[in-house]
Amino acid sequence: MRRALIAGLALLLASCGGGDSGSAVSSTPATTPTTSAYTPPASAALTTADVQQVLAQAIAQAKADGQPAVISVVDRVGNVLALFRMTGAPATAHLTDAPDGQNLDAQGLNVPAEAAAVAKAITGAYLSSSGNAFSTRTASAIVQAQFPQHPGTVGLGSGPLFGVQFSQLPCSDLAQRFGTSGAGALIGPKRSPLGLSADPGGFPLYKNGVVVGGVGVEADGLYSFDANVLATNLITDERIALAGTEGYDAPAAITASTISVAGTLLIYSDVSTSDVAAVTASTWAAQSGAGALEPLTGYSAGAIIAGTAYGSESSGIRAATSSEFASSGAFILTDGAGHARYPVRGGSDGGDIASPLTATESAAILGQAYAVMSAARAQIRNPLNSLAQVSIALVDTRGTVLGLVRAPDAPVFGIDVALQKARTAAFFSNSAAAAQLTGNPAPRVAGYVAALRAFLGDPAALTGAYAFSARAVGNLARPNFPDGTPGNPAGPLSVKAAQFNPFSTGLQSALIVGNLAQHLAFVTGQAAADTPQRCTTTPDVATGQNRLQNGIQIFPGSVPVYRGGVLVGALGVSGDGTSQDDMIAFLGLARAASGTLGQAPAAIRADQITVHVPNGTSANPAYVNCPPAPFVGSNDQTPCQGL
């Protein structure tokens, strides 16, 4: 197994168009809220006794199944609180091969089972909140090329979070790294060794209705995804993990199976409590002899520790003071010593453009997006008519963060993703995009520029002539173009349909596969140095900084920002439905517009590009899609029209 891992690492190294873009809510700036629309979640955390109980229950179930497992428990901000290896558990987990057998990027790789367990636990914690509980099986359903996905059904578009698995990356400059001592030891949000997971076997953990962490299990040696939602798959990993949640389970009213997207109910688990053995009487004292706690380089020192309470200074995410952000109730990222990690500021790109964003303009854009969110109806939260809760990031043309704010109970995954989305829009709208991709030494990256230019019939594509949102980039990164048209060719930024699975999406995965290889070599002791805290090998735009330092994202929720037709930055939003994310970004920017500052000119938005596909039809990449009647307490049907 060790040889297979080393060999795998060696190989690894080697919708809407203009009519909806525009919105009947006024673009007049909204008033900054003086009282918060949100109630922060109650302070709660896993104690060492809680962690021991979760482990004991999972171990007891693994014994009942006769399947030794690696079990991980994390807190809400991704700190690994325990990592336990049962005697006889698999050393590695195999990432699913490409459908056509021609593996690319992370397909077919063998990874440490510990890394798989940690990624599953982080996924359960990061995707969940007090209004929604999502598992890794939920993630599986929403990251695939069809939604809902099952054999024999054609004409379905991709999952709403297609590509989110390549977030929370181990190279991300946003993600914090493990420390064993000192005040910063539990600062989050932490990275994941494999990004987010779509392999069943990861669940959130709750105390009194408040999400406090997650549990992840790797027992079968396969790191895969659910390719057929019509079939019930009683997977051992999922049963063991669900047993771990007994007494810490999600409230039934907010599990994924109660939440619908585009008329389809999501999936929480194929295993029910009736499939689980009687484990609640299990104790750590009785079960700990089944194996041993173990360290994982970069993640855990091999001991059980208590979790940190989300919302506290020490968690790395807390309420903003009035001087840090004007909107009441907003949360920000902190360094644990009382300082905002991403204070609102002006642009760093004065050497590149004539009039960078000012600190006042940055505050206005972030404030207006926060105000739109504070009135918007949530897609993925219960009860119905809850307000959306998202993370909002603003960047300049270099990808420098000009501010990052969030609602109190927004899912943690959206922090990194909002920044990815903002950087994606800023990068692909930049005049230097083609040159920077061509100058990237990673295998296959430069080839995507030529593929895009041929696909669009534009030899000058990616040189700033068009404004790209995350939705537009995502449309070009799907296994079929337009999305949901089987038989049509793949988008130029995607792998072909016969080669797609969640471990290789195209340009998105090609950009960071080298970082992933470096990190896994470090985790397994094959390399002394970890991957840098900056994703991609895209050329620097400033000393020690590239434009894509946490990777790109290819599902909707960002727009570029322009001043008089000149790109000056981008705004990214993540944490709710993709149309809600789109609207908050688009309408927030519209409300903050002043003078020549605001949206990309309509004539250069990506939805003005016409693509002729081989079947004789044509289509346009979408720009944004605003949902109908999106505001709580309002009958407004078309909030983005005309902007």
SS3 letters across 364-383: HHHHHHHHHHCCEECCCCCC
CA distance 123 to 143: 13
- Above 70 in pLDDT, residue 583? yes
Identify the pLDDT of residue 115: 98
Query: Structural domain boundaries of the chain?
Result: 48-293, 316-429+556-600
| 340-376: pLDDT as tens digits | 999 999 999 999 999 999 999 999 999 999 999 999 9
Helix (H) or strand (E) holding 84: strand 80-86
Identify the pLDDT of residue 36: 83
Q: How much of the chain exceeds pLDDT 70, in percent?
A: 93
| 495-517: pLDDT as tens digits | 999 999 999 999 999 999 999 99
Identify the pLDDT of residue 613: 86
Identify the pLDDT of residue 19: 33
Instruction: Of 191-195, 211-215, 636-640, give the lowest mean pLDDT range.
Output: 636-640
The CATH homologous superfamily of the domain defined by 48-293: Haem-degrading domain (3.30.450.150)
Encoded tokens for 147: 């939604």
Identify the pLDDT of residue 2: 36
CB 472 within 8 A of CB 624: no
Pairing of strands 401-406, 391-395: antiparallel
Question: E-assigned strands of 28-79?
Answer: 70-75
Q: For residues 464 and 226, which has the higher predicted lDDT (pLDDT)?
A: 464
Q: How much of the chain exceeds pLDDT 90, in percent?
A: 85
Q: For residues 485 and 82, which has the higher predicted lDDT (pLDDT)?
A: 82
Identify the pLDDT of residue 423: 98
The overall average pLDDT reported for the chain is 92
Identify the pLDDT of residue 18: 35
Q: Which CATH class for the 316-429+556-600 domain?
A: alpha beta
CA distance 401 to 14: 32
DSSP codes of every residue in 315-329: GTEEEPPTTT-SSTT
CA distance 233 to 153: 19
R_g of the chain, CA atoms, integer Å: 23
Nearest residue to 183 via CA among 336, 313, 76: 336
Is the fold of 48-293 the same as that of 316-429+556-600?
Answer: yes
pTM value is: 0.95
pLDDT interval class at 234 (50, 70, 90): confident
> Token match 């525009």: residue?
22
Q: Distance of alpha carbon 58 from its chain centroid, rounded?
A: 27
Identify the pLDDT of residue 25: 35
Identify the pLDDT of residue 185: 74
What value does the mean pLDDT take over residues 295-323?
A: 96
Identify the pLDDT of residue 16: 33
pLDDT interval class at 13 (50, 70, 90): very low
DSSP codes of every residue in 175-240: SB---SSSTTTT-SPBP-BTBS--SS-EEEEEETTEEEEEEEEE-SSEE---S-TTS----HHHHH
> Token match 């585009």: residue?
262
CB 66 within 8 A of CB 194: no
What value does the mean pLDDT take over residues 539-547?
A: 95
Identify the pLDDT of residue 118: 98
Highest mean pLDDT: which of 400-404, 484-488, 617-621? 400-404
Identify the pLDDT of residue 638: 85
Pairing of strands 260-261, 264-265: antiparallel
What value does the mean pLDDT take over residues 111-134?
A: 98
Which is it for the CA torsion 482, 484, 490, 492, positive or negative?
Answer: positive
CA distance 447 to 454: 11
DSSP codes of every residue in 375-415: TBBPSS-SSTTPBP--EEEEE-TT--EEEEEE-TT--THHH
CA distance 428 to 406: 25
Identify the pLDDT of residue 211: 98
Who's near 446: CB < 8 A, 6+ residues apart? 437, 438, 439, 440
| 255-266: pLDDT as tens digits | 999 999 878 899
| 595-616: pLDDT as tens digits | 999 999 999 999 999 999 877 7
